[in-house]
Structure 1
């Protein structure tokens, strides 16, 4: 469950950062935020398995 919360937090943070940076919402920005969140979630899950 913590992995999902972490990935969602990364998604929201990355999305807010990109919206402030580019001053508009585009599909490309949302998809890049989603990809980063998925990668971060998978890495967080792997770290959780290891430790």
Structure 2
């Protein structure tokens, strides 16, 4: 459950960062935020398995 919350917060944070930086919401920023969130979620899940 913490992995999903972590990935969702990374997605929201990255999306907000991109929107503020580029001053508009694009499909590219949405997809890049989703990819970063999935990668961060998988990494967090792997860390959770070991620690």
Global fold match (TM > 0.5): yes
TM-score for both structures, normalised by structure 1: 0.99
Partner of 2:40: 40
In angstroms, what is the RMSD of aligned CA positions? 0.2
Runs of 4 or more, structure 1, over 3 Å off, are none
Q: What stretches of structure 1 of length at least 5 have no aligned partner? A: none
- Counterparts of 1:11-50 in structure 2 under 5 Å? 11-50=11-50
TM-score for both structures, normalised by structure 2: 0.99
CA deviations 1:12-32 (Å, max 9, x no partner) are 000000000000000000000
**Which whole-Å CA distance do the structure 1 matches of 2:39 and 2:47 have between them?**
12
SS of 1:38 mapped into structure 2: helix
Q: What stretches of structure 2 of length at least 5 have no aligned partner? A: none
